[in-house]
Chain A
Amino acid sequence: MFSQIIWWVTNLLIAFLLVRALSARLFIKYPVFYSYLTYVLIESLIRFYFFVFRPGLYEDVYWNTQFLSVALGYCVIYEIYTQALASYAGVSRLARVLLLTVFVVIVSKVLATSVGEHALLPAEVPALLERDLRAAQAALLAAIVCLLVYYAIPVGINVRGMVIGYGVFVAASVVSLTLRSHFGIDFQSVWQYFQPAAYLLTLTVWCASLWSYQPNPQPWDDVELEGDYEWLAVRTSTAVSKARGYLVRALRP
């Protein structure tokens, strides 16, 4: 009963977000994000149909649609990256390199591991694969957040809400799927409530942060310094070395 309530509330919230996106013209601003939400709603209805009328096929439908959802999640992360760093060409370039490296390293490891999971029961393999793909998403989002913090890049409430909402869901998925794979069927009863509850929290965050369009603040405090980038980098590096030398000479009178 409780899980049905969560299911209905979740779908109502997604529908509400989509209706609001159409009325506030947010679909145009964040097309990938709202395409992902549209897919999630359709996926939910498809799963409901198979759960009620074709239960024998439900498990296959669940995992197939789930992996497509995970793949679209990577597109959402890409949209977050482009939206947050649109005005910061330098950091955007750095982020592209960092995210690509993280993506290639982790996803290669994930695929290599999943090929080798021949000793596991067939039902366990997709759960482990989803767990690892979600962990990769967590790493990518963490990299973006670290760059935003390191370069003190301000973001608007829309993008911040997307990051926090999706981040909470991804983190909860990683933890719950890990516990599920460790404890097995004993954890199933907790898992079937935990992940939907986390998604409900995510949707609540999105409803609050995506009510209307709030663009990212424009950079206002950037410094104009003459000299090219290499010159600037050398100056900064020299400054740090100079400070270290000053410290050592002071400490050894």
Chain B
Amino acid sequence: MNETILLISIGLVFLILLLLWTRRGAGAAAEERDAAAARDALVTLNLGMPPRALAQRIFSPDDWLFVTSHTPSRIQRVFLEERTKVALKWLDCTVLNVGEVIEMHKRAVRQRKTLLARVELKLAINHAAFLLFCTFIRMLMRWQGPFLPGKLIGYAMTFAEQVSILATRLTVVLEQRALGNHGTFDK
């Protein structure tokens, strides 16, 4: 029964993948992006993140402590909602900047003959782990607001890192199997 469900799932998921790819369009051009800025970000590692002072202001617990000790609960609720929106926008901006660097990397390497499978896979896993961490933080912010306890951030970070380590180990196992079958992984 499990095999039946698995195989039907494979067929249906593949059909959905084809449908999504069809809707994406033939040769869909990338969204309008500042290619020069993304190229510079990759070369100089100046990722164009929002200033640190801004981030410190958004997540500083001082404002929240002031609001909770001097205002009624209705005001506290509004403050928390508005500050959460700002924090989520800041997070989206961070994720977008990193995404542009990754896209720039892909466009730069896709025609290079020296492209290595294991390196691309590790980069993809690192990026996926980063996105997973951001997704957790986003969920936590929606639930508890932007003033998150350090412990929760630590858990989110650890979970994302464990997923990354597991995925990296899996690629090593697959690489070793392929080496056992073919002699080299990247020809």
Contact = CB atoms under 8 A, between A and B. Distances in A.
A90 B112 contact: yes
How many B residues touch the partner, as a band?
35 or more
B39 interface: yes
A180 to B, nearest CB: 11
B181 to A, nearest CB: 5
Interface in B23-48: 24, 26-30, 35, 39, 41-43, 45, 47
Contact of A250 (B59, B113, B150): B59
Contact of B117 (A97, A225, A232): A97
A225 B10 contact: no
A225 B178 contact: no
Nearest to B3: A178
A229 interface: yes
A244 B101 CA distance: 14
Interface of A: 87-91, 93-94, 96-98, 100-101, 104-105, 131, 135, 138-139, 141-142, 145-146, 148-157, 160, 163-164, 167-168, 170-172, 174-175, 178-179, 181-182, 217, 219, 221-225, 228-230, 232-233, 235-244, 246-253
4 closest A-B pairs by CB: A154-B27, A90-B115, A250-B55, A174-B11
Interface of B: 1, 4, 7-8, 10-15, 17-18, 21-22, 24, 26-30, 35, 39, 41-43, 45, 47, 49, 52, 55-56, 58-61, 91, 94, 97-98, 101-117, 119-120, 122-124, 126-127, 130, 133-134, 137, 148, 150, 153, 157, 174, 177-178, 181-182, 185-187
